[in-house]
Every structure is written in structure tokens, then in C-alpha cells.
Structure 1
Amino acid sequence: MASKNVHLSRRALGIAATALLAGAALPVQAQDAYPNKAIRIIVPNPPGGTSDVLARLIGKELGETLKQPVIVENKAGGNGHIGASFVAKSAPDGYTLLLMDMSNATIGPSVAQLNYNPLKELTPVTMPAYSPHLLVVRQDLPVRNIDELAAYARKSGKPVSFGTPLASISQLAGILLAQNKGFEFNVIGYKGGAQALADLAGGQIDSAMASVLATNPLVQGGKIKAIAVTSAKPFAATPGVPTVASQIPDFVTGSWQGLLAPAGTPPAVLDKLQATVQQIVARPDVAKRLAELGSEPSDMSRQKMAEWMQAETVRWAKVVKDNNIKAE
């Protein structure tokens, strides 16, 4: 009888073990089936901006490729941090994603009290696109490049005014540029970059720095003058404009558009999203549309993006501390 009980116990254990293994396999099967419902891409800015346009472009193609609806939802406010926090607190299942200008994620911790940690509560998926900044000046300012701007600033007897949203990537990049060239900007704070560019076109300020998407129409319309681009090499959308990096080695800034998910999202889901988005932005028709927006495709992997986020957060924290930068 004892041996029969032992036999039954072993059989019961075997059944239990089989059930546990089957249960352990369920998450893998669920990941293999991803996605099986609609995906949301949260844009933490109002409609019409670079992140919004890119999210809608990628979302349409992503939905067609993955055979599930992709809904783009704007959650603006707090310089992008309201929408980013919402995604950081969402379920890590791959169905709520964030597409944002990565400068908000890398500068934010140094200039604001955030209710989330971008480096710990968000995980990179991929960096689908990059758009450099243009350093632009009023049309009648007698300078053609940053060396001439620096010389003009030193000779004029008063600082060159520089319009920018405060505690933004454009303000920090402008400070770095001026320090490297031995002069100082008179920073004029604005609520948004569009207002600064409008005043620049009207001749009320001397200079500004903003994305190619925002500045190029005004440059091409003869309203303002581009004197430098912040890409590592000459940028196709701004032919003839010299790079800052040609005069200040390794000076590269801009609008890095990143796709992120809540921390803890399964690696298999992240890999599938990364591969799909990278295939989408590499297509000639999508690359052409990105060029029209003043951007170019990026193939930065999620591993490289995580390293980049760490390095950029450290880089801008130093600039913020050294220059006592305050948020609005």
C-alpha cells in the first residue's frame, strides 16, 4: 500500500510539474502573439509638432505591419513630462508607448522635480529619427558663420540676444556654443520656440536656435538667416550651411525622437517593436517624408539608446549646474 501511495505521489508531482511548466510557457506564448490588440503611442506635446507628426507617420505604418490598430494620443503639459509620466506608470506590456523629443528626458531630471525617473521607469525601444538644430540670426545681422558671430558679439559692446524657451535643449546648446567661442549670449526667455522665431523674423531679437522643421521655412522665405547646423556632418535639408562641429569638435545637438516603453516590458516585445520600426523608417518612402520634415532616419538600437540617455543626462546636468539654469 505504501508503495502505491508513493507511486501516486510521484504521479501527482509529475502532473503538477507539467502544469507548472505549461504555466511558465504562457508568457512566452503571449509574447509570441504580440500584439493582439490596439497599441497606443502617447505624444507628450500638442498636435502638429515634430513628435506628433512622426508618431502619426510611424503609427500608421506600424499598424499596417503588425495588423493591429495604432492610436496616437496627445497628453501635453509639463514640458513633456505629464505624458512621459503617464507611460512610465502604465502596464509594461507593449501596448502603451511614448514618442518624445529625448532632450526632455535627459534634461528634465536636472531642472525639474519629476514624479518619475526617465532612466529607471522608461526603457528604450529605438530612436527612429533625428533632426538637428539650426543656429539662425536676424536677416540684417552682418554675420555668416559662428566665428563672425563671436567676433561681432565681442566688438559690439553689448551681448547678442538669444531667444529660447528656458531650461530647454536650445538654451543649453546656445550656452555651450557661446562658451566655446568666447562670448556670451543675452538669453531672452520665451514660452515656446515658435514665439522666439517670430520675434527673430520681426527683428526684435538677434538670434535663436531651433529644429530644422521650425526654422527652415523662415530661412527659405528669406525672413531669417541660417549660419550653422548642429549635425555631425552637413545636413541634406540645409545645403551650404556649415556644421558647428566643423569649428567646435564633437558639438552635436538636436531633436532626437525616441520611442520608449514602461520599464519591465518583455525583451521579446521590445525586440519586435525595435525591428519593425527600424524597417519602417529605412523604407525610401518614409525616409523621403522624414527629409521633408527636416529629419533623417536613425537606426540606434535600444541598447545604444540606453547608453546614450545615460551619457546625455550626465552631459546636460553639468551644463545646468555650471550655469545655474532654472526652469520657467
Structure 2
Amino acid sequence: MANRRHILQSLGAFPMLAAFGVSHAEAWPSRPLRIVVPNAPGGTSDIIGRLLTKPLSDALGQPVIIENRAGAGGNIGAAAVAQATDQHTVLLCDVGGLAISPSIYKTLPYNLDRDLQGVAMLAQSPHLLAVHPSVEANNLQELIALSKRTRLNVALAGQGTPNHLATVQLAQITGIQWQHVPYKGGAPAVGDTVANVTQAVLNGMAATYPQVQGGKLKAIGVAGKTRSPLLPNLPTLAEQGATDFESGTWQGVTVSSKLPKDQVARLHAELVRIVQEPALRAQLRDAGVDMVAMSPVETTQFIARDRVRWAKVVKQAGNTIEGST
């Protein structure tokens, strides 16, 4: 009888053990989390991603790894995440690039509406227009006049990126003339402007301001609604004649649409908590970046609105880039 009771008690424990096993199997993440940054190292998205890895790893209990997948206006990285089946691959990028791609590329290896979902918006900073110190222009009007007398090469952080379209839009508004030179990210674009391979760059504050601060680049104007606290004496481009012009970088996180909503909710909660930490906020504020928190739905809606905005710029420019990643 004792043996029978022992057996029954053991059998009675199985449902509890089984339930524990199922719960353990469903725990997420169950392996290292891979954050894909679709640009070269050193750009704004890369800077923010690397600041997130340690606190996010501590919060999730798994290693967090940055993987730079640059090229094709961010579409190589975006496709890697959209097509991921492991539920442990995340895209951190300037979400404007996602919004632009459907208007620029005739074919894409993913469907923005179907294959990706928003998780969180994290940060925002205005673009900064800067030139090599040898360029004989100290403001936007002087730069416009100079561009009509001599060839100016402007570095792009990638073909089909927000930097690219903002550069196109600025020319539409002001009549500035410059030759586009595309790179695989903001860091190499800024680097070649410092080296005077290109003479101008319109890029995010985080990667550009340190070079202005160090005297390696000369700031012409900031593309925000208001002046930057880092450069309070520098007029906005709108103040200098580029009426209503505003552009910048919005770092957001998206994942495959196949990722369950409860996992999306957890990732969102941890990311928002981390970017609101005072030390991280202060570190990024010193680089000209403001932390911005948006819900998964708000992030998806933001991308949809940006898609409409940039489609108008592309239509006016009349330059659809053929091909895909």
C-alpha cells in the first residue's frame, strides 16, 4: 500500500512538473538576442545599440549582440530581421529608412506592412549640416552661392536613407547644387568629410557633433525645429532660408511580425525602462540625442506617416532607384 501511495503521489506530481516544463520552454528569450543595425559601426543607431547591450542583457538574462549589416539603404539588415525565424533577432535603425524604401526600391526582399512590427521608438536627434573647414562658407546662403561656382560633394549615410532624402529635399527647397556620394553609414560619411574627400554632410548629431566640437568639421546649420542646446548660437536651416525644412534621425526597434505580442510587450517594456535611466539619458543628451518612448502601435504608425512624407519627396525628385538587396 505504501508503495502504491508513493507511486500515485509521484504520478500526481507530473502535471505540475509538466506545467513547469512548458513554462520553462516558453520562456523568452531562451538564447542570445541579436540586434541587427543596418549601418556601418559608428553611426547613431550603432552608438545607441551598443549603449543598450549591457542593460538589456542584464534585464533579459541573455547575451545581447550587435550585428552590423550595412548596405542597400538598410534593406539588407531589415530583410534579415523580417525573414528571421528564431524569434531572437531585432532591428534597431533609423526608422525613416524603412519608411523610404518602398518609394525608392521597385522590389524589396520583404514587405514592410506584412513582415515587420514596431516595438518601440527610442531616440530622436536633428540632422546637422556640416562642411570641411576649408569650405569657404559659414552659413547656408554662402554655401548655396558657393555650390553654384564650384563642385561640392555631399556625403550620404546610404542610398535611400533619411539622410539621403533630407539632402534631396534641402536641394529642392534651396536650389543648392551638390554631387551625392553614398556610403554605408553615417560614420564613414562623416569620416570622409573630415578627410575632405567630400565637402559636406547632413547627418545625425551623435556622429557629427563630436567632429564639429573637435574643430574637424564646421557647422552650417541644424535641421531641427529649434536650435540645439549643444550649439545655441547656430541658426536652424529653416532660420537661414530653408523654409519649414526639418529632418533628423529617429532610432526605433522593430521585429518580425511573427514574434508573439507578449514577447513584443516585454521587449518594449525593458527598452523603454532602459532609455529612461538618468545616466543613459544624460550620456545621449550630451551627444545631441533626446530619448523618445513610443508604444509598439505608435512606432508602427510613425513609420506609416513617414512613408507618406518621403514618398512626396521621391515623387518630386523623380528618381526611383531600381533593384533590391
The TM-score normalised by the length of structure 2 is: 0.78
Residues 65-105 of structure 1: per-residue CA shift (max 9 Å, x gap)? 23333233333333322221121112384x22111222321
Contact 1:44–1:76 (8 Å) recurs in 2? yes
Out of 202, 211, 215, which is 2:208 matched to? Answer: 215
Quote the offset at 1:167 in angstroms.
3.5
Instruction: Name the residue aligned to 2:128.
Output: 134
CA distance in 2 between counterparts of 1:234 and 1:271 reads 35
Quote the offset at 1:274 in angstroms.
1.4
Aligned pair in 2 of structure 1 residues 205, 298: CA closer, same or farther (>3 Å)? same
Aligned pair in 2 of structure 1 residues 159, 178: CA closer, same or farther (>3 Å)? farther
Residue 174 in structure 1 maps to residue 167 in structure 2 = yes
Q: 1:93-132 counterparts in 2 under 5 A?
A: 93=87, 95-112=88-105, 113-132=107-126
Residue 226 in structure 1 maps to residue 219 in structure 2 = yes
Instruction: Name the residue aligned to 2:230.
Output: 237
State the Cα RMSD in Å.
3.3
Contact 2:137–2:146 (8 Å) recurs in 1? no
Matched residue of 2:224: which SS?
Answer: coil
Residue 42 in structure 1 maps to residue 7 in structure 2 = no
Instruction: Name the residue aligned to 1:280.
Output: 274
CA distance in 2 between counterparts of 1:253 and 1:31 reads 45
Quote the offset at 1:199 in angstroms.
5.3
Q: 1:285-324 counterparts in 2 under 5 A?
A: 285-324=279-318
The TM-score normalised by the length of structure 1 is: 0.78
Instruction: Name the residue aligned to 2:14.
Output: none
Q: Say which one has the larger Rg.
A: 1
Contact 1:139–1:223 (8 Å) recurs in 2? yes
CA distance in 1 between counterparts of 2:126 and 2:78 reads 22
Q: 1:16-31 counterparts in 2 under 5 A?
A: none
Out of 161, 165, 176, which is 1:184 matched to? Answer: 176
Aligned pair in 2 of structure 1 residues 119, 251: CA closer, same or farther (>3 Å)? farther
Q: What is the identity, as a one-letter code, of the residue corresponding to 1:251?
A: F
Instruction: Name the residue aligned to 1:12.
Output: none
Aligned pair in 2 of structure 1 residues 195, 259: CA closer, same or farther (>3 Å)? closer
Quote the offset at 1:135 in angstroms.
0.9
Instruction: Name the residue aligned to 2:256.
Output: 262
Q: What is the identity, as a one-letter code, of the residue corresponding to 2:119?
A: V
Q: 1:85-100 counterparts in 2 under 5 A?
A: 85-91=79-85, 93=87, 95-100=88-93
Matched residue of 2:178: which SS?
Answer: strand
Contact 1:43–1:98 (8 Å) recurs in 2? yes
Instruction: Name the residue aligned to 1:16.
Output: none
Instruction: Name the residue aligned to 2:12.
Output: none
Gaps of 5+ in 1: 1-24
